[in-house]
Chains A and B, each alone.
Chain A
Amino acid sequence: MVQRLLLAALVAAPLATFASPFTPAAPDTVGTTPPASRNQAPTESLPWYRPRHVLAQTGGGLGMVSVGAGYSLKDRLDLDILIGYVPRKYAGSRLSIYSAKLLYSPWTLPLGKTQKWAIKPLMVGGYLSYTHGTLNDEEPNQYYRGYYWFSTDTRVGPLLGSRLSYALPPTAKGRARNLSAYYELGSNDLYILSYVQNMKGLSPADILTLSLGLKLDI
């Protein structure tokens, strides 16, 4: 229990550090007009389908390693598509996990004087995943209709995290590029259901998952 409280406090600590100097003073200013050096509008117009970033992460129920690419809208809304891998050793069979994450980050806060570092203190969103390669996977006629009400392979869940970015030199065409590291706390539909029905027998920390990842603008 002490460990869980400590964990919660430690995760919240960096958010609190930034919340105090910025939020009460001028939250709107900070939120809507980030420094020009970080958020220059692209000088060339990219085709809509071209991914704006690539990413790699571990955990979060989306793979031991998952890699993917994604799109950004106004540096606030990110849609990432990932393919993950779990070796047999850790899950009983080799799994591939296909997932999509959607994350909204209302604030980007610059750090330090150089304008090189910035933090998105809050990312909130969710994911949908499909796992391929499970062993006992509902073959036709194995069960009658409704025998198991839940899907063994499709999961959906919420995400909450933070992201720290470092501004790399812009591209030759003048597009700003960041390298970011992020963490996300998440859960899934079945874990949440288990908790909601057992608030005495389970604690919120029991159902949390953690992802750690890197995202590079391209």
Chain B
Amino acid sequence: MRSFLRNFPIRTLLPTTAALLLGGCEMLEFSPNDHRSPERQQDLTAKNLARLTQSPLPAGDTLRFVFTGDSQRFYNEAEDLVKSVNQQAGIQFLIVAGDISDFGFGREMRWVDDQLRKLKVPYVTVIGNHDSVGNGRKAYEEIFGPLNYSFTYADTKFIMTDTNGREYNFDGKIPNMSWVSSELQDASTRRHVIISHVPPQDEDFDPAVREAYITALRNDPRLAFEMNGHRHDFSIGEPFNDGVTYINSYGFEKRQYVIVTVWGDKQFRLKKVQF
């Protein structure tokens, strides 16, 4: 044994070993579905919301946020979007309306975070259908957090829910209406905003749950508007002619986003920004 060690060209092995120790841990991927992430890229929703809570809206200021969606496989655009958003004054956070990833892989979600963590403001996400492919939901939970959650900011409750019904084979349980209804019934804030990926007028929304969803929204006196991604293009309207406004985001590849300003009970203004 000693003789091999003496002859062993240790000087050539040492650098390789050092390289593997330095960069190896994150590269030693067990599968593309492997969702292990460094601590700084776990529970990002909770971390971003903690940052948001630390900077409450000053009295007299207006609630203003950036609305975008579908960052999937548009990393060049993500970099440019961050530069543009960082020039905007008076915005408090950014929302990505789902499809963070394209293939439901943890690594893709971390690539998007690598860009969006350079934002000066916190950002929050909601799960999209592409984030649900394969073991994507588990990766989303590990890297971002719960699939259904809500937060309150500037007297407004933001309700984020999974509406990717097709990814559950239209099992009649998505969106989770008992959770959505209980969130909408919360009367502790002045306004509600509900955000999900697949819009209810889309064929990827579970048709068995559509009526319950749009009825619950119609009956919520505090609801300012509903927001979605999935269609990669901006739209605003009342698809069900029931007084509820539905707003769709641009996809990242459209190189545009929307700045949403909200005041009063339900008043809002949208401004499109190109980047």
Q: A142-B169, A152-B133, A183-B20 are in contact. Are A114 and B4 (CB under 8 A)?
A: yes
Q: Is B68 an interface residue (CB 8 A)?
A: no
Question: Hey, what's the 0/1 contact readout for A179-200 against B, CB within 8 Å counting as 1?
Answer: 0000101001011011001111
Chain B residue at smallest Cβ distance from A202: B75
B:1-20 near A, CB below 8 Å: 3-4, 7-9, 11-13, 15-16, 18-20
8 Å CB contact of B31 from A63, A113, A198, A201: A63
Q: Which of B11, B30, B133 has the most CB of A within 10 A?
A: B30
The reply on B243 being an interface residue by CB < 8 A is no
Report the minimum CB–CB distance from B81 to chain A (whole Å). 10
B258 within 8 A of A: no
A137 B32 Cβ-Cβ under 8 A = no
Asked if A40 CB lies within 8 Å of chain B CBs, one says no
**Taking the complex as formed, is A71 at the interface, i.e. its CB lies under 8 A from any CB of chain B?**
no
Report A-chain residues with C-beta under 8 Å of the C-beta of B29: 59-61, 209-210
Chain B positions 86-127 with a Cβ under 8 Å from a chain A Cβ: 102-105, 107-108, 111, 114-115
A29 beta carbon closer than 8 Å to chain B: no
Contacting B at CB under 8 A, from A88-138, are: 90-93, 95, 97, 111-114, 116-117, 119, 131, 134-137
B137 in contact with A90 (CB, 8 Å): no
Whether A148 and B133, one on each chain, are in contact in the complex, defined by CB atoms closer than 8 angstroms, is yes
A52 interfacial by beta-carbon distance below 8 Å: no
Taking the complex as formed, is B36 at the interface, i.e. its CB lies under 8 A from any CB of chain A?
Answer: yes
A202 to B73, CA, bound (A): 10
Contacts of A202 in B (CB 8 A): 75, 111
Main secondary structure on chain A at its contact with chain B? mixed
In the complex, A14 has a CB within 8 A of chain B: yes
Q: Which residues of the other chain, B, contact A200 by a CB distance below 8 angstroms?
A: 75-76, 79
A201 touches B78 (CB 8 A): yes
Does B221 sit at the interface, judged by CB under 8 A?
no
**Would you call A206 and B134 a contact (CB within 8 A)?**
no
In the assembly, what is the distance between CA of A200 and CA of B111, in Å? 12
Known: A7-B22, A139-B169. A131 touches B33 (CB 8 A): yes
**Tally of chain B residues near chain A (CB < 8 A):** 54
Report whether B12 and A92 are in contact in the complex, using a CB–CB cutoff of 8 Å: no
Instruction: List the A residue with the shortest CB-CB distance to B82.
Output: A201
Q: Given the complex of chains A and B, what is the CA–CA distance between A198 and B72 in angstroms? A: 11
* A143 proximal to B (CB < 8 A): yes
Complex Cα distance, B74 from A200, in Å, reads 10
Chain B residues with Cβ under 8 A from A201's Cβ? 74-79, 111, 115
Whether the pair B139, A92 counts as a contact (CB closer than 8 A) is yes
Given contacts A18-B12, A142-B169, contact A86 B134 (CB under 8 A): no
B166 contact set on A, CB distance < 8 A? 142-143
The reply to whether the CB of A164 lies closer than 8 angstroms to some CB of chain B is yes
Given A152-B134, A198-B76, are A92 and B35 also a contact pair (CB < 8 Å)?
Answer: yes
With contacts A114-B3, A194-B73, A201-B76 taken as known, whether A90 is within 8 angstroms of B23 at the C-beta atoms is no
**B111/A135 in contact, CB under 8 A:** no
With a cutoff of 8 Å between Cβ atoms, the chain B residues found around residue A175 in the complex are none
**Contact, CB under 8 Å: B22 / A113:** no
B59 at the binding interface (Cβ < 8 Å): no
| Minimal Cβ-Cβ distance residue in B for A162 | B16
Measured between beta carbons, the chain A residues less than 8 angstroms from B261 are none
Count chain B CB atoms within 10 A of each CB in A63, A97, A113, A198 and give the residue with the most.
Answer: A198
- Bound-state CA distance A210–B4 (Å) is 27
Contact with B along A138-171 (1 / 0, CB 8 A): 0100110000101011010000001010100000
Contacting residue for B103 out of A4, A91, A152, A183, CB 8 A: A152
**A112 with B9, Cβ < 8 A, contacts A143-B166, A210-B20 known:** yes
Complex CA–CA separation, A95 to B33 (angstroms): 9
Whether B15 and A14, one on each chain, are in contact in the complex, defined by CB atoms closer than 8 angstroms, is yes
Residues on B with beta carbons closer than 8 Å to the beta carbon of A155: 32
Q: Which residues of B lie under 8 Å from residue A135 when comparing CB positions?
A: 134-135, 137-138
A25 at the B interface (CB under 8 A): no
Q: Which 9 A-B pairs have the closest CB atoms?
A: A92-B138, A201-B75, A10-B19, A59-B28, A198-B75, A210-B27, A112-B7, A92-B135, A13-B15
- The contact sample of 6 A-B pairs, CB cut-off 8 A, is A63-B31, A91-B30, A95-B33, A137-B134, A152-B133, A205-B23
Listed in ascending order, the chain B residues whose CB lies under 8 Å from chain A are 3-4, 7-9, 11-13, 15-16, 18-20, 22-24, 27-36, 73-79, 102-105, 107-108, 111, 114-115, 132-139, 142, 166-167, 169
